[in-house]
Amino acid sequence: MANQALVKLRGVTQKYDTGRKEFIAVRDVNLTVKEGEFVCLLGPSGCGKSTLLRIITGLQKPSEGKVLYRDQPVVGVNPRSTIVFQTFALFPWLTVQQNVEVALKARGVGPGERTQKALGLIDMVGLDGFETAYPRELSGGMRQKVGFARAMAVEPELLCLDEPFSALDVLSAESLRGELLELWVNGSIPTKAILMVTHNIEEAVFMSDRIVVMDKDPGRVIADVIVNLPHPRQHKSPRFAHIVDQVYATLAGQTQPEHVEMGTAPGEPGRTRALPDIQIDDLTGVIERLHEMPGRTADIFRLAEELRADSDYLLRHTEAAELLGFATLAQGDITLTPLGETFAEASILARKEIFATRIRRLPLFQWLLRMLDAADRHRLEYDVALAALELEFPPEEARRQLDTAIEWGRYAEILGYDDSTETIFRETGAAVPAAT
Amino acid sequence: MSRLLRRFGIGWPLTRFATWADVIVLVAIGVVVYIGVELAGGAPAAISGPRISLAPSALPLYAALSTGRMAAAYALSLAFTLVYGYIAARNPRAERVMLPLLDVLQSVPILSFLPVVLLGLSAIMPEGIAIGLASIVLIFTSQVWNLTFAWYQSLTTIPNELREANSIFRFNAWFRLKTLELPFGAISLIWNSMMSWAGGWFFVMAAEIFTVGDRDFRLAGLGSYLQTAASKGDVYAITLGILTLVLVVVALDQLVWRPLLAWAERFKLEMVTGEMEPTSWFYDVLRSSLIVKWFSERVLRPLGERIDAWSLQHLAPDSGTSDKANRSWIGFTASAVLAVGLVYGVYRATGMLATVRPADWAEIGLGLGATLLRVSIALAIALAWTIPLGVALGTNPKLASWLQPVVQITASIPATAFFPVLLLIVIGLPGGLNIAAVLLMLMGTQWYLLFNVIAGASAVPQDLKYTALLLGLNRWQRWRTLILPALFPYVITGSITAGGGAWNASIVAEYAKFGGKTLYTTGIGSTIARATAEGAFPLLLASTMSMIVTVVLINRLFWRRLYRLAADRYRME
């Protein structure tokens, strides 16, 4: 079984230069995918897993490092790889058959052979009878089947899947996963290796032989988990649950000492801790649910199942709970702190006060409040704050950070925002502005 | 109708008031106008137009000539669009200049170029060719910008994953154009082509009947037929001419545009089946025709395969990484030469502008004010009647179903065709030309507004209408809190287009030769026309540039702010 390596990444780094500062999307990634492997790239949004997929297929050239395919450097798009896209990327104006055929046509396959092959593939994915349908007439699951048939048409050695099931409803995703696994495990497709990007932990454990776990800020590989369970795998089996737990624990991390946890204010040396992208109502929902649990503690994986939440979504909320000091994380378990309990029991107004005192501790807020105090009439233009944050975050992320900060500040009633003048101001209700 | 609007939406991607590129673009336009004016000095002092026959038997030929001119200009526009849009979308360095240029050019009143182009071209080539070419060039300039903008926008909004699919399946440039870019832009290109043709008709009428002083730049065609008929007061010929024009416009709509729209339905990107799909009887006939079937299977398909095969041999597959503009020395030298030329042009143009007398500058200022007033009046009148009617049509499907076709046909007749008739009617009244000018502007612009208002009114969500009823708002409150805010973005979009059209019309509206007499009224359009007639070239340059700068400034300072406000605050999602 000494399988040959198909893909080798050596010291791959991807930077984006936005003019003032460079941002690192992916840092120093080393990765090998061998023949016969089904590998998952797993991580929270923004960890650069999709970027890595594009680098491997040659759609994108990394800023640093080497990309080898069968020990040859990849130049341009690698003709022996292909991608199945999250949003299917079908041409809406072509029929199912034309969508499959066009991939063959672009490789110079003649009309007769082309049609025969396309029909065979459409049959294989179970879409016979739909050859002349347009994508808009199909359900999401069926569209993705066309995506698979099209990818198979070019007989790729390396099949890359970019969150192929995340735009589908639960049932379609489940059945499509099973069908793909069947084709793969039985060897009915000529594909030598599969590389799948996902943020769904269970999906990764269900399908792959190896999970490469990534984290963000900057995007990097933090763990490599082997999944040696026989197919077909059972979600309920203890070994399955054990691996899922293990991955959750890796991703959810541990509660850190406060100075590490909070990061530094923008403009100061060190990394500014980004505010997680959450809805405050959802956060209170998670905290209330935890509060009802025995011992005010829960296994994150179980909590995700209970709330029917996707792992990425839940991890963002546990991160926020931790950042605000409402909960602590250890070994894949989340436990409410006494403060978290108080928050869960408090009235709406009291919750706002607790929330306000907690976010005042965050360097990003301290910085924003200082800027507001120094500003004329304690008002600050949105664009000014944004420009300052863009020194710290990539432009899109900076905007999201500022929007999140404003939303949190509004909820806590320490900030206000005037949409017509696009200015942020200090709320002068309970908190008295520094009158000088 | 709301779909129509989406296609017509004005794209203003730049958020800043002005960039250095805008300044360069304006200066460059100034230099080009200067070169035209400089050439115009050599134009013959008297140009005789062709004899226009008023016999009904001449009409088919005239209609064919006018349509031919339009078709030639449209072909030119399409070719220009594909190339220009492609370069602007794929080369970030070129984009920085090409986009502001497009933005300024689409807001410039093109008719103000008419005298310069006519005089300039007739100086350097035989009159017959020059006038024909000038009319095509001018129709081209009236058709091309919105098309180019639409193409550029569709190229830059192709979803990333479709682009990546394109690279990952190793499509070459031809496959990319055929399978991705053209289909993606098709619907927008067709809608904008329809708009371009509507604008083109307005123009071909004006360009065929332009006479100033002893220079009679007339071309045989429907426009000159109408003008001659009106000049002679021949009501029978006028009626026949207008009927022919309506017939041509309606025929084109039924035989070309509707079938194209019905066919293009397949290119729509929405992944859901739409509620109202455009239909066309002619398209259905074509589809069931055996000849068409034979042609597509025996000629088109093999031809397609041949081109595909050829492209596979000669074009490299997409590399995936986007074209990086490389700073080659050729490009550098070219920009340097261009820059030097520009500076020299500015120097010469300023020299010419310096010879314009203060009295003339005063006339230009006064003219700008007068025309601005006329444009505002026309816009106000248009708003006053289109908002009530548009809301009625937009909220009452029954009324709309029988009134809409009437409105559409009326709107498709170019206002300039009516101008001679209008003159005939109002010329005896006090301030006759003034009234005629405002009326012409009104006729050219009100339809944009009406269609926008209808679209806005029909886009008000039913839930909000119910809420307004449940809250017991009275009529005035309902208008104030719901209908007017909901209409705001649509009214702004419509007003921008309408305002541009009104400025454009001023050049033919404020100065007319009618029944052997020359009529004019104070206004920038009449100043431009007078400068052309008298061969006062410095004045021609000064007035043309003043008009362009004024319109661009009004757009930037006034409309763009309102447009952003509308987009930010009053958008319904």
Q: Which of B159, B168, B183 sits opposite A59 (nearest CB)?
A: B168
Output the pLDDT for position B431: 73
Select the highest-mean-pLDDT range: B52-66, B124-138, B498-512: B52-66
- Ramachandran assignment for B472, one of left (phi > 0), alpha (psi -120 to 50 degrees), beta (any other): left
3-state secondary structure of A335: strand
- Of the candidates B243, B175, B168, which has an alpha carbon nearest to the alpha carbon of residue B417? B243
Sheet holding A64-69, edge to edge: A22-34, A5-17, A64-69, A72-73
Residue B274 Cα, gap to closest chain A Cα (Å): 10
**Higher model confidence: residue B465 or residue A73?**
A73
- Of the candidates B55, B357, B100, B50, which has an alpha carbon nearest to the alpha carbon of residue B209? B50
A91, A142, A143, A386: best to mutate for the B interface, most B CBs within 10 A: A91
State what percent of residues in chain B have pLDDT above 70: 90
Output the pLDDT for position A1: 44
Mind listing the pLDDT tens digit for each residue in A110-128?
Answer: 888 999 999 999 998 889 9
Output the pLDDT for position A390: 84
Output the pLDDT for position B41: 72
Output the pLDDT for position B516: 67
Q: Confidence class of residue A343 from pLDDT cuts 50, 70 and 90?
A: very high
- C-alpha A283/C-alpha A321 separation (Å) is 7
- pLDDT at position A103 over 80: yes
- Tokens matching residue B570: 């009053």
**Higher model confidence: residue B209 or residue B398?**
B398
Taking residues B226-237, what's their average pLDDT?
82
B16, B161, B168, B178: best to mutate for the A interface, most A CBs within 10 A: B168
Domains of chain A, by residue range, sit at: 5-251, 276-355, 362-426
Residue A149 Cα, gap to closest chain B Cα (Å): 13
Whether chain B has a CB inside 8 Å of the CB on A255: the answer is: no
Output the pLDDT for position B17: 53
- C-alpha B163/C-alpha B184 separation (Å) is 11
- Same CATH fold assignment for domains A5-251 and A276-355: no
Output the pLDDT for position A149: 93
Residue type at A109 in one-letter notation: V
Contacts of B285 (CB under 8 A, 6+ apart): none
Interchain CB distance below 8 Å, B183 and A105: no
Whether chain B has a CB inside 8 Å of the CB on A386: the answer is: no
Asked whether A319 and A276 are in contact (CB, 8 A), the reply is yes
- Of the listed ranges A102-106, B115-119, B145-149, the one predicted with least confidence: B115-119
- C-alpha B468/C-alpha B451 separation (Å) is 24
Taking residues B360-379, what's their average pLDDT?
92
Asked whether A398 and A27 are in contact (CB, 8 A), the reply is no
Q: Which of B161, B266, B318 sits opposite A85 (nearest CB)?
A: B161
Taking residues A281-296, what's their average pLDDT?
90
3-state secondary structure of A390: coil
Mind listing the pLDDT tens digit for each residue in A28-71?
Answer: 999 999 999 999 999 888 788 989 999 999 988 899 999 999 99
Interchain CB distance below 8 Å, B271 and A136: yes
Element holding B315 (H helix, E strand): none
Q: Which of A61, A136, A137 sits opposite B321 (nearest CB)?
A: A61
Tell me what the pLDDT averaged over chain B comes to.
80
Question: How far apart, in Å, are the Cα atoms of A304 and each of A168, A317, B168, B223?
Answer: 19, 11, 35, 73
Interchain CB distance below 8 Å, A136 and B272: yes
Interchain CB distance below 8 Å, A154 and B312: no
State how beta strands A379-381 and A423-426 pair.
antiparallel
Residue type at B284 in one-letter notation: D
Q: Which CATH number fits domain B357-573: 3.30.70.1110, 1.10.1040.10, 1.20.90.10, 1.10.3720.10?
A: 1.10.3720.10
Number of C-beta neighbours around residue A37 at 10 A: 18
DSSP secondary structure letters along B25-42: HHHHHHHHHHHHHHHHTT
DSSP H helical ranges for B289-431: 290-295, 301-314, 329-354, 358-395, 397-412, 415-426
pTM as predicted:
0.79
Per the listing, tokens 């991807």 go with: A14
Output the pLDDT for position B111: 72
Asked whether B134 and B118 are in contact (CB, 8 A), the reply is yes
Query: Which backbone phi and psi does B517 adopt, to 5 degrees?
Result: -110, 155
Query: Which backbone phi and psi does B15 adopt, to 5 degrees?
Result: -100, -25
- pLDDT at position A145 over 90: yes
Asked whether A201 and A251 are in contact (CB, 8 A), the reply is yes
Q: Residue B317: beta bridge partners?
A: B172
Interchain CB distance below 8 Å, B268 and A92: yes
Q: Which of B168, B179, B273 sits opposite A136 (nearest CB)?
A: B273
Handedness of CA A161, A166, A170, A172 (dihedral sign): negative
B175, B271, B565: best to mutate for the A interface, most A CBs within 10 A: B271
Output the pLDDT for position B572: 64
- Tokens matching residue B164: 């990546």
Q: Confidence class of residue A433 from pLDDT cuts 50, 70 and 90?
A: very low
Residue B498 Cα, gap to closest chain A Cα (Å): 28
Class for domain A276-355, per CATH? Answer: mainly alpha
Mind listing the pLDDT tens digit for each residue in B247-276?
Answer: 998 888 888 888 888 888 888 766 555 455
Taking residues B483-494, what's their average pLDDT?
85
Q: Which CATH number fits domain A5-251: 3.40.50.10470, 3.40.640.10, 3.40.50.300, 3.20.20.240?
A: 3.40.50.300
- pLDDT at position A258 over 70: no
- C-alpha B545/C-alpha B244 separation (Å) is 37
Report chain B's terminal Cα–Cα distance, integer Å: 16
Output the pLDDT for position A260: 62
A105, A146, A419: best to mutate for the B interface, most B CBs within 10 A: A105
Residues of A in contact with B272 (CB under 8 A): 136
Interchain CB distance below 8 Å, A91 and B172: no
Output the pLDDT for position B266: 80
- C-alpha B370/C-alpha A420 separation (Å) is 35
